[in-house]
Amino acid sequence: MNQDFETQLQVVQRALGEVVLPALGSADKHVIEQLHLSLAAIGFMQQRVPLARQYYRGTLERYLAMAGAVAALLDADAESLADQSKQSKAVLDDPAASDADLRAATATLRAGVAALVEAAKDTPQESALDALVLEYSEAILSEDRSWCIPLGFELRPEDLPKPDWQP
């Protein structure tokens, strides 16, 4: 197959950036701005499509670690999360799992942990649980920020730790 995603994105980016954009000299400002933003979206995909699977797998692994720690802290109160973790681990271990499966498994764990945080209000475990969630989230958010670097919002992207999925 000679039709790959990278080439599709590259040809569209070149056509829009080198042919269409110069031809829009006197167009309304918002038209040119939307084209620039479209190019930015394509540029993001060019950089991230080849790394998507590693990123999704890495994110699921980190949420499994968080869910494991939460389940250990709450014990019997986190049975449902423990079950979700088992199913999510099976997805991670399944070589046939799609990217959508990985993302769905991650979303399930995120929702499961968030629900327990809410339910723990005014319980003896609340402050330990909240602290644990913040601790595990720090590394996850660092990876998420790295994922979004191509969008150009990080003032000093070089200060972020190198993520596992980055070659």
Q: Which residues bind another protein (CB under 8 A)?
A: 28-30, 33-34, 37-38, 40-41, 44, 66, 103-104, 106-108, 110-111, 113-115, 117-118, 121, 126, 130, 133-134, 137-138, 141-142, 144-145, 147-148, 151, 153-155
Least distance from another protein to the Cβ atom of residue 2, Å: 30
Q: Which of 21, 45, 43, 44 is nearest to 33 (CA)?
A: 21
Residue type, 163: P
> Whose Cβ is closer to another protein: residue 11's or residue 131's?
131
Least distance from another protein to the Cβ atom of residue 76, Å: 20
**What is the C-alpha separation between 46 and 6, in angstroms, rounded?**
6
Least distance from another protein to the Cβ atom of residue 19, Å: 19
> Whose Cβ is closer to another protein: residue 41's or residue 72's?
41
> Whose Cβ is closer to another protein: residue 43's or residue 92's?
43
Neighbours of 66 (CB within 10 A): 22
Q: Which of 165, 133, 130, 129 is nearest to 146 (CA)?
A: 165
> Whose Cβ is closer to another protein: residue 73's or residue 104's?
104
Taking the CA atoms of residue 58, residue 60, residue 62 and residue 68 in that order, the dihedral angle to the nearest 10 degrees is -150
> Whose Cβ is closer to another protein: residue 93's or residue 138's?
138
Neighbours of 158 (CB within 10 A): 7
Least distance from another protein to the Cβ atom of residue 138, Å: 6
Least distance from another protein to the Cβ atom of residue 130, Å: 5
Q: Which of 57, 74, 53 is nearest to 132 (CA)?
A: 74
**What is the C-alpha separation between 39 and 48, in angstroms, rounded?**
14
